[in-house]
């Protein structure tokens, strides 16, 4: 790749060299013994993941992957704020960070629902879902491949002293099409294919912002479809706890050392499966404890609220009435009984706009647990 010239806002002119990305559609990877073992272990572990109810632990896995993927990008808020952002009425809440994490969650759900292999248009759609309403991103850059050079590290004025300079913008469309052709191959082990797809996406860096989160959606798209895993394999959870090793692994890939990255990524998948087992156990134990406090009859609205706590740990009278086809009065009575039993806590919606907040009922213990299992507390 020939050198290019950049003049920044401070009037400094200098040369830089963007990354030269050779096609990978037909790449053959020779794994070391350690990497081959890590891939085999990851494949075995993913095969043990049980089919979990979408309204139960599976929803925890989706939320945790989206939250951890955001944490990697220094976007972190507690689970209560994310839950509030999910259920807020238009104009009721001003919480841009929580809203961006909700966008991450919705993008992840879309990525897993997208037929395999994804197309470039699919990836653009994930980006639109992720970045919708972003307060500092121009509308013309959302869901659109970048038209300018970008860089990682250095300063904010240009690629001077950057840690990594992705390929030039005119190369991006062809590189993404090449990546899609790589995903079409059936002769590559799913763990290897997902690992390379993610790292390659980060090399291309096709958007002005949001590349890491969309790239991790792509990993989930490849891994779940190719392995037929019933839920996302939340690799972002261990990566969020050791960002330095994650970034180091991507740097290895950028320098042409695929083997160390694949070994690291495969090992992270094993850790993610172990996390699923631990999370399922902790959530199940807490739900059993909460059910033990209840004296409600089976089939009642109160019983339904308890059964759906993992999916809906934050509710109000209106949502309960609509969800269980009961009157507002019956919904209120059910919520008050659960609050009296110590299952729910009554508190106002954390409104950040003017006006009287609506009254919510929260499973505080479950919400605290949702935060703890992501941060390893």
Same domain, 258 and 331: no
Domain count across the chain: 2
User: What was the pLDDT predicted at 296?
Assistant: 84
Is residue 4, in this structure, part of any structural domain at all? no
Is residue 14, in this structure, part of any structural domain at all? no
Same domain, 32 and 83: yes
Q: Would you say 180 and 118 are in contact if contact means Cβ atoms under 8 Å apart?
A: yes
Q: Choose one of 241, 276, 311: the last residue of a domain.
A: 276
Same domain, 150 and 239: yes
Is residue 29, in this structure, part of any structural domain at all? yes
Distance CA 38, CA 270 (A): 8
Same domain, 94 and 164: yes
Same domain, 176 and 150: yes
User: What was the pLDDT predicted at 55?
Assistant: 61
DSSP assignment letter at 89:
P
Full domain range(s) for residue 357? 278-375
Same domain, 223 and 313: no
* CATH number for position 343: 1.10.10.10
The number of beta carbons lying within 10 Å of the beta carbon of residue 248 is 13
Is residue 2, in this structure, part of any structural domain at all? no
Same domain, 73 and 150: yes
Q: Choose one of 216, 247, 276: the last residue of a domain.
A: 276
Is residue 144, in this structure, part of any structural domain at all? yes
User: What was the pLDDT predicted at 133?
Assistant: 86
Is residue 126, in this structure, part of any structural domain at all? yes
Which residues have a Cβ under 8 Å from the Cβ of 85 and sit 6 or more positions away? 93, 95, 98, 99, 101, 102
User: What was the pLDDT predicted at 351?
Assistant: 60
In the three-class reduction of DSSP (H, G, I as helix; E, B as strand; rest coil), residue 24 is classed as coil
Distance CA 55, CA 360 (A): 20
pLDDT, tens digit only, all 377 positions of the chain: 679 999 998 899 999 999 999 999 999 999 999 999 999 999 999 999 988 765 678 999 999 999 999 999 999 999 999 999 999 888 788 889 999 999 999 999 999 999 999 999 999 999 999 999 888 888 999 999 999 999 999 888 999 999 999 999 999 999 999 999 999 999 999 999 999 999 999 999 999 999 999 999 999 999 999 999 999 999 999 999 999 999 999 999 999 999 999 999 999 999 999 999 999 999 999 999 999 998 888 889 999 999 999 999 999 999 999 999 999 999 999 999 999 999 999 988 866 656 677 889 999 999 999 999 998 76
Same domain, 155 and 48: yes
Distance CA 221, CA 294 (A): 40
Q: Choose one of 249, 276, 303: the last residue of a domain.
A: 276
Structure tokens at 225: 């479809």
Q: Would you say 273 and 52 are in contact if contact means Cβ atoms under 8 Å apart?
A: no
Same domain, 174 and 272: yes
Same domain, 156 and 271: yes
Which residues have a Cβ under 8 Å from the Cβ of 270 and sit 6 or more positions away? 38, 41, 42, 45
Looking at beta carbons, which pairs linking 74-80 to residues 24 or more positions away fall under 8 Å?
75/100, 75/101, 77/101, 78/367, 78/371, 79/367, 79/370, 79/371, 79/374, 80/314, 80/350, 80/362, 80/367
Is residue 172, in this structure, part of any structural domain at all? yes
Structure tokens at 44: 């075995």
Same domain, 288 and 143: no
Same domain, 349 and 234: no
Is residue 1, in this structure, part of any structural domain at all? no
Please measure the distance between the N-terminal and C-terminal CA atoms of the chain and give it in whole angstroms.
47
* CATH number for position 229: 1.10.3290.10
């Amino acid at each position: 790749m020939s050198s290019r010239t950049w003049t920044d806002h401070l009037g400094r002119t200098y040369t830089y060299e963007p990354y030269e990305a050779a096609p990978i559609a037909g790449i053959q990877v020779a794994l070391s013994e350690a990497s081959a073992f890590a891939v085999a272990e990851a494949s075995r572990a993913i095969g043990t993941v049980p089919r979990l109810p979408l309204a139960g632990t599976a929803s925890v896995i989706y939320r945790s992957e989206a939250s951890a993927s955001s944490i990697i990008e220094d976007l972190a808020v507690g689970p209560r704020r994310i839950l509030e952002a999910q259920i807020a009425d238009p104009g009721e809440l001003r919480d841009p960070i929580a809203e961006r994490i909700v966008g991450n969650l919705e993008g992840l759900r879309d990525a897993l629902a997208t037929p395999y292999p994804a197309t470039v248009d699919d990836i653009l759609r994930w980006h639109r879902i992720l970045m919708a309403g972003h307060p500092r991103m121009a509308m013309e850059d959302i869901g659109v491949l970048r038209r300018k050079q970008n860089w990682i590290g250095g300063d904010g004025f240009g690629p001077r002293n950057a840690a990594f300079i992705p390929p030039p913008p005119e190369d991006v469309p062809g590189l993404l099409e090449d990546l899609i052709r790589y995903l079409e191959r059936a002769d590559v082990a799913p763990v290897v294919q997902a690992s390379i797809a993610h790292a390659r996406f980060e090399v291309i860096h096709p958007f002005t912002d949001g590349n890491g989160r969309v790239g991790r959606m792509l990993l989930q798209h490849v891994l779940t479809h190719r392995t037929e895993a019933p839920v996302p394999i939340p690799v972002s959870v261990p990566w969020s706890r050791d960002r330095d090793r994650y970034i180091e692994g991507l740097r290895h890939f950028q320098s042409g050392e695929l083997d160390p990255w694949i070994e690291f990524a495969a090992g992270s998948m094993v850790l993610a499966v172990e996390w699923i087992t631990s999370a399922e156990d902790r959530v199940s134990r807490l739900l059993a404890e909460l059910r033990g406090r209840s004296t409600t009859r089976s089939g009642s609205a109160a019983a339904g609220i308890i059964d759906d706590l993992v999916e809906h740990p934050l509710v109000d009278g209106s949502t309960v009435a609509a969800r269980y086809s009961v009157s507002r009065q019956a919904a209120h009575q059910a919520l008050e009984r659960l609050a009296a039993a110590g299952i729910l806590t009554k508190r106002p919606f954390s409104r950040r706009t003017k006006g009287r907040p609506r009254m919510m009922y929260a499973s505080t213990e479950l919400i605290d647990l949702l935060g703890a299992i992501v941060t390893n507390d």
